[in-house]
Chains A and B, each alone.
Chain A
Amino acid sequence: MSSLAAGSYGIDISGTPAIPFGRLFRVELRKSVNTRAGRWLVGITVGAALLAETIFLIVAAAKNLDSAYGDFVAAAAFTSSFLLPIIGIMLVSSEWSQRTAMTTFTLEPHRMRIVWAKMLAGMSLTAFVIAFALMVGLVCNLLFAVIQGQSPDWTFGWSGFFGFLINQTFAMLGGFALACLFLNTPASIVVYVVYKYVVPTLLGIGSALMVWFSHFAPWIDFQAAQAELYDMPLTGSQWGHLIVSGFIWLVVPLGVGLWRIRHAEVK
Chain B
Amino acid sequence: MTVLAETPLNVTGTRKIAFERLVRVELRKLADTRAGRWLLISVAALTALVLVIQLWVVVAQDLQVDFSDFLLAMNTPMGILLPVLGVMSVTSEWSQRTAMVTFALEPSRLRVVAAKLVSVLVVSVGALAVGLLLGALAQLLYGVLSGNELVWGSAGTLAFNYLVSWVLGMVTGFAYGALLLNSAAGIVVYFVYSFVLPIPFAIGAQLMDWFDHLRPWIDFSFAQGPLLQGSLTGSEWAHLATSGLIWLVLPLVVGIWRINRAEVK
Interface residues of A (CB under 8 A from B): 37, 52, 55, 59, 62-63, 65, 78-79, 82, 86, 90, 97, 184-187, 189-190, 193-194, 197-198, 202, 206, 209-210
What are the residues of chain B within 8 A of A194 when measuring CB–CB?
80
Give the shortest distance, in Å, between B241 (CB) and chain A (any CB). Answer: 27
Knowing A185-B183, A186-B35, say if A78 contacts B199 (CB, 8 Å): yes
- Flag the segment in B105-113, B150-158, B187-195, B214-222 that touches A: B187-195
Beta-carbon contact of B80 and A190 below 8 Å: yes
A-B contact number at CB 8 A: 56
What are the residues of chain B within 8 A of A63 when measuring CB–CB?
207-208
Q: How far is A79 from B182 in the complex, measured between Cα atoms in Å?
A: 21
What are the residues of chain B within 8 A of A198 when measuring CB–CB?
76, 80
Beta-carbon contact of B80 and A79 below 8 Å: no
What are the residues of chain B within 8 A of A52 when measuring CB–CB?
200
Give the shortest distance, in Å, between B143 (CB) and chain A (any CB). Answer: 20
Knowing A97-B95, A194-B80, say if A189 contacts B191 (CB, 8 Å): yes
Beta-carbon contact of B183 and A186 below 8 Å: yes
Q: How far is A37 from B94 in the complex, measured between Cα atoms in Å?
A: 15
Knowing A55-B200, A59-B208, say if A209 contacts B63 (CB, 8 Å): yes
Q: How far is A82 from B199 in the complex, measured between Cα atoms in Å?
A: 12
What are the residues of chain A within 8 A of B183 when measuring CB–CB?
185-186
Beta-carbon contact of A186 and B199 below 8 Å: no
Give the shortest distance, in Å, between B162 (CB) and chain A (any CB). Answer: 18
Knowing A59-B204, A86-B188, say if A190 contacts B84 (CB, 8 Å): yes
Q: A37-B184, A62-B208 are in contact. List 14 more A-B contacts (CB 8 A).
A: A37-B185, A52-B200, A59-B204, A97-B95, A185-B183, A186-B35, A186-B184, A190-B80, A190-B187, A198-B76, A206-B57, A209-B57, A210-B60, A210-B61
Rank and list the top 7 A-B pairs by shortest CB-CB distance, nearest first: A185-B184, A197-B195, A193-B191, A186-B183, A189-B187, A82-B196, A63-B207
B88, CB-defined interface residue at 8 Å: yes
Give the shortest distance, in Å, between B56 (CB) and chain A (any CB). Answer: 10
Highest count of chain B CB atoms <10 Å: which of A52, A55, A82, A90: A82
Give the shortest distance, in Å, between B149 (CB) and chain A (any CB). Answer: 21
Beta-carbon contact of B80 and A193 below 8 Å: yes
What are the residues of chain B within 8 A of A59 when measuring CB–CB?
204, 207-208
What are the residues of chain B within 8 A of A65 when measuring CB–CB?
207
Beta-carbon contact of B204 and A209 below 8 Å: no
Select from chain B the residue with minimum beta-carbon distance to A190. Answer: B84
Q: How far is A62 from B57 in the complex, measured between Cα atoms in Å?
A: 46
Can you show 27 pairs from A to B with CB atoms below 8 A apart? A37-B184, A52-B200, A55-B200, A59-B204, A59-B208, A63-B207, A63-B208, A65-B207, A78-B199, A79-B196, A86-B184, A90-B184, A97-B95, A185-B183, A186-B87, A186-B88, A186-B184, A186-B187, A189-B184, A189-B188, A189-B191, A190-B81, A193-B195, A206-B57, A209-B61, A210-B57, A210-B60
Highest count of chain A CB atoms <10 Å: which of B80, B88, B184: B184
Knowing A37-B184, A90-B184, say if A184 contacts B57 (CB, 8 Å): no
Give the shortest distance, in Å, between B263 (CB) and chain A (any CB). Answer: 16
What are the residues of chain B within 8 A of A79 when measuring CB–CB?
196
Select from chain B the residue with minimum beta-carbon distance to A93. Answer: B184
Give the shortest distance, in Å, between A202 (CB) and chain B (any CB). Answer: 8
Give the shortest distance, in Å, between A16 (CB) and chain B (any CB). Answer: 37
Give the shortest distance, in Å, between B110 (CB) and chain A (any CB). Answer: 26
Give the shortest distance, in Å, between A127 (CB) and chain B (any CB). Answer: 22
Give the shortest distance, in Å, between B194 (CB) and chain A (any CB). Answer: 9
Q: How far is A90 from B182 in the complex, measured between Cα atoms in Å?
A: 13
Give the shortest distance, in Å, between B113 (CB) and chain A (any CB). Answer: 21
Q: How far is A52 from B195 in the complex, measured between Cα atoms in Å?
A: 16
Select from chain B the residue with minimum beta-carbon distance to A184. Answer: B35
What are the residues of chain B within 8 A of A189 when measuring CB–CB?
184, 187-188, 191
Give the shortest distance, in Å, between B213 (CB) and chain A (any CB). Answer: 16
Give the shortest distance, in Å, between A45 (CB) and chain B (any CB). Answer: 11
Select from chain A the residue with minimum beta-carbon distance to B84. Answer: A190
Highest count of chain B CB atoms <10 Å: which of A90, A186, A202: A186
Select from chain A the residue with minimum beta-carbon distance to B183. Answer: A186
Give the shortest distance, in Å, between A92 (CB) and chain B (any CB). Answer: 12
